[in-house]
Structure 1
Amino acid sequence: MNLNIVVVGLSVTSSWGNGHATTYRALIEALARRGHHVTFLERDVAWYRQHRDLTKPSSWTVELYQSPKDVPRRFGKLIRDADLVMIGSYVPDGIAISEWITSQARGITAFYDIDTPVTLAKLDHGLDYLSAAMIPRFDLYLSFAGGPVPGMIEQRYGSPMARVLYCSADTEAYTPQQAQARWALGYLGTYSEDRQPVLEQLLLSPARTLSSAQFAVAGAQYPADIAWPGNVMRIEHLPPKQHPAFYAEQRFTLNATRADMRALGFSPSVRLFEAAACGTPVISDRWPGIETIFEPSREILLASTARDVIEILRDMPEERRRAIAESARRRVLTDHTSDQRARQLESYYAEAAARRRRKSARLPARRPMQVAEL
């Protein structure tokens, strides 16, 4: 089964200030390796244009467009003829583009929600990229949150088929590297106001207490008025190619979760899988469902307070630290690789296509729906 797939997403060309790019790259690279033809459509905006870090894809295609009107004008035939068309969360003018796609595409249509907890928390109050009325029009809703969440999307919002598609680690890119540990604890992530209290409690506070140890925080958009302890190195932005080396220089890495993700649960971040794939043990805040991703104490360490982190950094034997890292990496290789996500997507496509065939067989032919131009 070789599919022609079109993805309309926030960004695949730049990882600056977003986690979408590495998620898309891992999935698309895996799909391409499995023989599928993938075209990614991205709005050409200044802040990503200035920070592009994607080398030219070798076996899939990126197309940039300037406005929503370019989508039907330049890519209308591509989208109509595709086997699968996916539009992701946070796409500029996403509602208008989704309306056009779901009325014109002849193949399976999917909404790929890389921000499911945020989407569900704000959907009833209005979003720029998705409306509740659009959800039933997609054949498939791909959720970044698992557990009970896909069922809730079907029941509450009328999705005909909602399935979990977690992020993953591209284990060809994210592998252990030999390096001397520079930092007792590090963190990689863009600034978020609702995540900052977790970073304060689980990294900055321990750094103030363990003044002889070194810490690091890498990521964009942090306010200038944050008071960083003197033993915390700030790195403004790291392109994905430098992530494995950054993880290799940490004895432990921190996973800090946004408030909506903690509240909904079952919502692992891409950094969680990437760090574990690199063989760096993870200290994470607590949220419902984390035990379904990694086994606490054996594959991941959970912390609620600064004292929890301090005790781990100060007291954990090196043998146990390495054992946790190795167990987590094995779990990623077993359950959370990009190839496994590509296989999941293939199975969801087949399920949605079969569902559509059954539905079409029961319904009389309908006249084509007229839609307004974008």
Structure 2
Amino acid sequence: MNIGFFGSSLVSAYWNGAATYYRGIIRALDALGHRVTFYEPDAFDRHAHRDIPDPPWADVVVYPATDPAAVSRLVANAARKADVLVKASGVGVLDSLLEAAVLAYKRPRQTTIFWDVDAPATLARVRNDRRDPFRELIPLYDYVFTYGGGDPVVNGYEEFGARQCVPIYNAHDPETHYPVPAEGRFLADLTLLANRLPDREARIDEFFFRPARELGQQAFLLGGNGWADKPMPPNVRSLGHVYTADHNALNTSADFVLNVAREDMAQVGYSPATRVFEAAAAGACIITDAWKGIELFLEPGEEILVAHDGAEVAELLRTVPREKAQAIGEAARRRVLLDHTYGIRARQIESLLLRKTTSLLVGYA
């Protein structure tokens, strides 16, 4: 199948946490024989901070997002070549135009997908604004795929008339995420990689900065954009943007790696971040904030540690021996290799798309 995919960016993870998710899914689809053309805007300074060159497993089309008519023509051209046309959420430029254009230029027997990498936020938006134009488009897409969210998100989309909503959970690519030797520049007792976002900052204050203040003799490392003007305890070192080529070393160089969900994803649950699987694949011992459904992905206490507040994070740092942390990290690595690879996710997607193609062919017979 030829797949046209409109997303934020495939080649840059700068202010774009979905990049490694897209890469894992698309590379695995290519391995199954499907070809993806990824359309991304030249926006938000992402292409000045590329992580990878154009990959051999996808065609990348970068377009200027300053001319709505030209973007509409681009969608029309993409639709002519694709068997499957995808609009991801959060492109960041002309999203409403893209959402409507993908449907407007749909050809017979073509499958359209809205791929939501932030379903809790999207659903909250359309619930709160009855005039949101996306409300009327939801039932017109053949599929809604989501980054996570489980039954709460599926039920939410079905309330708005989605034909079929399927979570395609995060995972890891074994050829990209794996243990490497520790590096001195990333040594820490606890490391967090997270961009500064309004709906996550309060939780990071609680789960990261609070234990840092309580444990002044331990070393805390913070990676991600937006933290330059944040007041920090002296034992916190801020790295700024960390390129994806350094993620394995970042994860293997810390005694513990922290995951902090955004507020809405924590409330909905069933939404493990990409970085959870990437850190697990590197053999890191992960401490995560508590959210419903963790046990469906990693076993608490055996493959991941769970904290309900910053005090519990501090207690884990005080009491869990390094040997136990290493054993938990190894158990997590074994689990994600078995159950949470992008190859597994791609086969799930392929099955759904082939089922849809078969039903369309029967309908036209």
Q: Does 1:342 align with 2:343?
A: no
Label 1:29 to 1:130 Cα distance change in 2 as closer, same or farther (>3 A): farther
Runs of 4+ in 1 over 4 A off after TM superposition: 126-130, 357-361
By how many angstroms is 1:154 displaced? 4.8
For the residues of structure 1 that align with 2:160 and 2:363, how far apart are their CA atoms?
20
Residue 281 (structure 2) aligns with:
277
Label 1:84 to 1:18 Cα distance change in 2 as closer, same or farther (>3 A): same
Give unmatched runs, 5+ long, in structure 2. Answer: none
Does structure 1 conserve the Cα–Cα contact (< 8 Å) formed by 2:149 and 2:265? no
**Comparing 33-42 and 304-313, the one that deviates more:** 304-313
TM-score (norm 1): 0.90
SS at match of 1:148: helix
Does structure 2 conserve the Cα–Cα contact (< 8 Å) formed by 1:121 and 1:260? no
Does structure 2 conserve the Cα–Cα contact (< 8 Å) formed by 1:175 and 1:277? yes
Give unmatched runs, 5+ long, in structure 1. Answer: 362-374
Label 1:154 to 1:205 Cα distance change in 2 as closer, same or farther (>3 A): closer
Residue 6 (structure 2) aligns with:
8
After TM superposition, the structure 1 = structure 2 runs for residues 215-294 of structure 1, keeping only pairs within 5 Å, are: 215-222=220-227, 224=229, 226-294=230-298
For the residues of structure 2 that align with 1:196 and 1:79, how far apart are their CA atoms?
39
Does structure 2 conserve the Cα–Cα contact (< 8 Å) formed by 1:93 and 1:128? no
Q: Does 1:182 align with 2:187?
A: yes
Q: 1:172 aligns with which of 163, 168, 175?
A: 175
By how many angstroms is 1:332 displaced? 1.1
By how many angstroms is 1:105 displaced? 2.4
By how many angstroms is 1:235 displaced? 0.6
Does structure 2 conserve the Cα–Cα contact (< 8 Å) formed by 1:202 and 1:306? yes
Does structure 1 conserve the Cα–Cα contact (< 8 Å) formed by 2:10 and 2:22? yes
Residue 158 (structure 1) aligns with:
161
Deviation per CA, 1:7-38: give whole Å up to 9, x if none: 00011222111212111111111112222111
Does structure 1 conserve the Cα–Cα contact (< 8 Å) formed by 2:120 and 2:153? no
Deviation per CA, 1:57-80: give whole Å up to 9, x if none: 123210011134334434534322
The letter of the residue matching 1:145 is G
TM-score (norm 2): 0.92
SS at match of 2:328: helix
Residue 204 (structure 1) aligns with:
209
By how many angstroms is 1:52 displaced? 2.0
SS at match of 2:49: coil
Deviation per CA, 1:161-184: give whole Å up to 9, x if none: 111111221221110112267201
Residue 93 (structure 1) aligns with:
94
For the residues of structure 1 that align with 2:17 and 2:176, how far apart are their CA atoms?
16
After TM superposition, the structure 1 = structure 2 runs for residues 28-107 of structure 1, keeping only pairs within 5 Å, are: 28-67=26-65, 68-74=68-74, 76-91=76-91, 92-106=93-107, 107=110
By how many angstroms is 1:130 displaced? 6.7
Label 1:208 to 1:150 Cα distance change in 2 as closer, same or farther (>3 A): closer
The letter of the residue matching 1:80 is R
Deviation per CA, 1:204-246: give whole Å up to 9, x if none: 222222222111000001261x221111110110110111111
For the residues of structure 2 that align with 1:34 and 1:343, how far apart are their CA atoms?
8
For the residues of structure 2 that align with 1:155 and 1:60, how far apart are their CA atoms?
32
Q: Does 1:353 align with 2:354?
A: no
Q: 2:141 aligns with which of 130, 138, 141?
A: 138
After TM superposition, the structure 1 = structure 2 runs for residues 122-133 of structure 1, keeping only pairs within 5 Å, are: 122-126=125-129, 131-133=134-136
By how many angstroms is 1:128 displaced? 11
Label 1:5 to 1:128 Cα distance change in 2 as closer, same or farther (>3 A): farther
Deviation per CA, 1:295-353: give whole Å up to 9, x if none: 11111100012231222112212332122111111121122111111111101112322
